[in-house]
Structure formats: structure tokens, C-alpha cells
Chain A
């Protein structure tokens, strides 16, 4: 008997191995995200976090293991097929067009079938500050505003699975916490969110589940409660016991 859909993870990696040429960077990663859940993928530089996201978006090939979306093996699917179905990757560095205005950046998302008015209404309701500067080139916005624009562009695709890479990169803590409030709100609307972070505290504040990747292996995962935070601190800073 098949399980009800909401129990079924929208995104699941099972024993995923991946490599760049002959260098294996992921050694059997297991991870799952259900609808409405925020999963934080933490770990030091070079642990394989971004590669994991790229695999989930279909951008990087799986060497072995399974990439399941709503229970269906998609390891061989082209990234455009996954994007069309509702997998959205917001890459590190935001991926906005700096020489185009906010309005034009949003206009680029009309390829999804939504009208310009719908996208602008959705964006400017959620991020009023973008509406106030709609004609400004995206490159002149602050880092936080650019990240909001990147999120807005992602949301314009009506994602079912949202993959966020280093949302907090180069941003002030107060801006980061505001952005994460938006992410939590997005998840509450039923989107499965997998976010990659180096700065654990910000991500854990909204995560329902956390996994720590070390040298391509999930070293630790569970609910982000006190015990996990303590183990995480041991993992990052060395054991104090």
C-alpha cells in the first residue's frame, strides 16, 4: 500500500555518491525533506553541501545512489525537467542580473507562464522594499535586497522544492534573520526547503531538521534541539569532554 503523499518526502537522497572527475566528494549521502519542512544542511567548507544541492536540482550527475522526487527516481532527469516540475535552486551569489532593474529581473520569470502583474504583486506584497525601488538596477541594491530579489525570482516559479545555497553569505545578522523569517513563511505554505549554510545558528533557528555534512558524509542529523547543537559545536570546535 502506498503512503499518503504528505508523509512521502518531496525530496530524498539515498546513498548518493558524486564526484568531480576522479575525486569523489559525496560518499553515500542520505537526506529527505517533506512538504512544509525546512532541512538545514550544515558543515564546513568543502564538505559537499553545494554539490548536494546541485544534485538535488539535477545540475550535477549522481555517480551512484538515488535522487527521489515525490518517490520517483529522477537521478537521470535533465535539470530543465526538474525545474519545470517545481524544483528551484537559488545559488550562492544570488544569481540576479545586476544590470537589469528589479522589474526586468522579475519580468524574466514570465517564462513560467505567470503574467508580469502576478509576479510583481506576489513579490511586492512579500517584499515591499523591492516595490519601492522597482526601477533601480539590481546591482545597486544592498546584499539583503539582492537576496530578497533572488528569493522572489525563485518564488515566481511556484516551487514545490526550494534549494537555498548560503543565503546569509556576506549579509548582516539582522538581515539574515529577516530573510530566514521569509524562508520559514515560504515553508509554512507547503514548500519543502533544503538550505545549505556555513553559519549554523541562523539556519537552526528555523530548521525542523538538520544534517551535518563532513567530508562528503552525513556525520550527524536530527531535530535541531540542544543535544544536536552541543554535538554540532563539538564537531566544529572539537570535543570539550
Chain B
């Protein structure tokens, strides 16, 4: 059972080598919600600042409103970034897997032994038709 031993040993070693990321520590859903909340809060702060600045003639209060408005815009931009980061990650991961699979399929088709044998190792015109050149 040497092979069993080696696979089991390797399994244990690979587990101990893993830097296990704690899914609970990342809280992706919480970050996504916080991002959305920050985005909404930022817009709300901007609207409030606008209303405050229009209901007063005091330049000091208007200065405060400008600060609140800028803070709101910043909060909104940061919130949008966080929201996009955590909402798009999952989608992009699958998209990349699909892309990589399709590229592999294309490579398999182009460099299949039959194709290469037919052209003595070089790609013929039929094979390369439709493929754009990427070198100069």
C-alpha cells in the first residue's frame, strides 16, 4: 500500500501547507451590504448638504454643507467600489474559467496532431484562416 501511504501523506502535507482562508473572516456578503449602504448614505449626505446650503445665507453653514457634500461624494465612490468588488468577484471568477476553457478548446483544435501532421509541424493556410496575427 505504498501508493496509499504516499497519497495520504501528500494529502496531509498539502492540508498543512494550505493557508486556509476563513470564509467567515472575509464576510463578503457583509462587505457587499456595507458598500451598498455607504453608496446610498453618501448620496443622501450630498442631498442633505445641498438642502442645508440653500436654506441659509450664512457662509459658515454653507462651508459646512460643502464639507458634508464632499464627504458624501467620497463615501458614495468608496461604497460603490466596495460593492462592485464583492458583487463582481464571483461572476468574474466563472467568466474567467469559461474563457480559459474556450481558449484551451481552441488550442486543442488548432494544434491537434492531425493538423500538425498534415502541415509537417507548420500551420497551413486552412488552419490559420480566421486567426488574427499577434506578432509583427
* Segment of A12-20, A67-75, A163-171, A209-217 in the binding face: A67-75
Within A58-82, which residues are at the interface with B (CB < 8 Å)?
69-72, 74, 76-78, 81
Residues 2-28 of chain B, each 1 if its beta carbon lies under 8 Å from chain A, else 0? 011111111110111010111110000
Within A82-100, which residues are at the interface with B (CB < 8 Å)?
84-86
Distance, CA A104 to CA B10, complexed state (A): 29
Interface assignment of A122: CB less than 8 Å from any CB of chain B = no
Q: Cβ of A76 and Cβ of B20 under 8 Å apart?
A: yes
Interface assignment of A219: CB less than 8 Å from any CB of chain B = no
Interface assignment of B101: CB less than 8 Å from any CB of chain A = yes
Distance, CA A173 to CA B87, complexed state (A): 46
Interface assignment of B105: CB less than 8 Å from any CB of chain A = yes
Which residues of chain A are near B10, meaning CB under 8 Å? Answer: 86, 160
Distance, CA A12 to CA B27, complexed state (A): 26
Q: Cβ of B22 and Cβ of A85 under 8 Å apart?
A: no
Interface assignment of B108: CB less than 8 Å from any CB of chain A = yes
> Chain B nearest CB: distance from A189 CB in Å?
6
Chain B residue with minimal CB distance to A69?
B15
Number of residue pairs spanning A and B whose beta carbons lie under 8 angstroms apart: 81
Query: Which of A72, A78, A81, A84 lies in contact with B16, CB distance below 8 A?
Result: A72
Q: Cβ of B15 and Cβ of A72 under 8 Å apart?
A: yes
Distance, CA A110 to CA B103, complexed state (A): 12
Q: B interface, by DSSP: helix, strand, loop or mixed?
A: helix
Chain A residue with minimal CB distance to B26?
A78
Interface assignment of A156: CB less than 8 Å from any CB of chain B = no
Interface assignment of B127: CB less than 8 Å from any CB of chain A = no
Interface assignment of A129: CB less than 8 Å from any CB of chain B = no
Query: Which of A36, A71, A76, A158 lies in contact with B22, CB distance below 8 A?
Result: A76
Query: Which of B9, B12, B21, B24 lies in contact with A81, CB distance below 8 A?
Result: B21
Which residues of chain A are near B11, meaning CB under 8 Å? Answer: 10, 69-70, 85-86, 160-161
Given known contacts A35-B4, A107-B108, A78 and B23 CB-to-CB distance under 8 angstroms: yes
Q: Cβ of A160 and Cβ of B7 under 8 Å apart?
A: yes
Which residues of chain B are near A108, meaning CB under 8 Å? Answer: 101
Distance, CA A116 to CA B16, complexed state (A): 29
Interface assignment of B1: CB less than 8 Å from any CB of chain A = yes
Given known contacts A10-B8, A74-B20, A104 and B105 CB-to-CB distance under 8 angstroms: yes
Interface assignment of A191: CB less than 8 Å from any CB of chain B = yes
Given known contacts A76-B24, A78-B23, A116-B108, A189 and B3 CB-to-CB distance under 8 angstroms: yes
Distance, CA A222 to CA B10, complexed state (A): 29
Interface assignment of A6: CB less than 8 Å from any CB of chain B = yes
| Interface contacts beyond A5-B5, A71-B12: sample of 10 additional A-B pairs, CB < 8 Å, sorted by A | A36-B1, A85-B14, A85-B15, A107-B104, A108-B101, A110-B104, A158-B7, A161-B11, A190-B1, A190-B5
Which residues of chain B have a CB within 8 Å of any CB of chain A?
Answer: 1, 3-12, 14-16, 18, 20-24, 97, 100-101, 104-105, 108
Which residues of chain A have a CB within 8 Å of any CB of chain B?
Answer: 5-6, 8, 10, 35-36, 69-72, 74, 76-78, 81, 84-86, 104, 107-108, 110-111, 116, 158, 160-161, 189-191
CB pairs A–B below 8 angstroms (19 shown): A5-B5, A10-B8, A70-B12, A74-B20, A76-B20, A76-B23, A76-B24, A78-B23, A84-B14, A86-B7, A86-B11, A108-B101, A110-B104, A116-B108, A161-B11, A189-B4, A190-B1, A190-B3, A190-B5
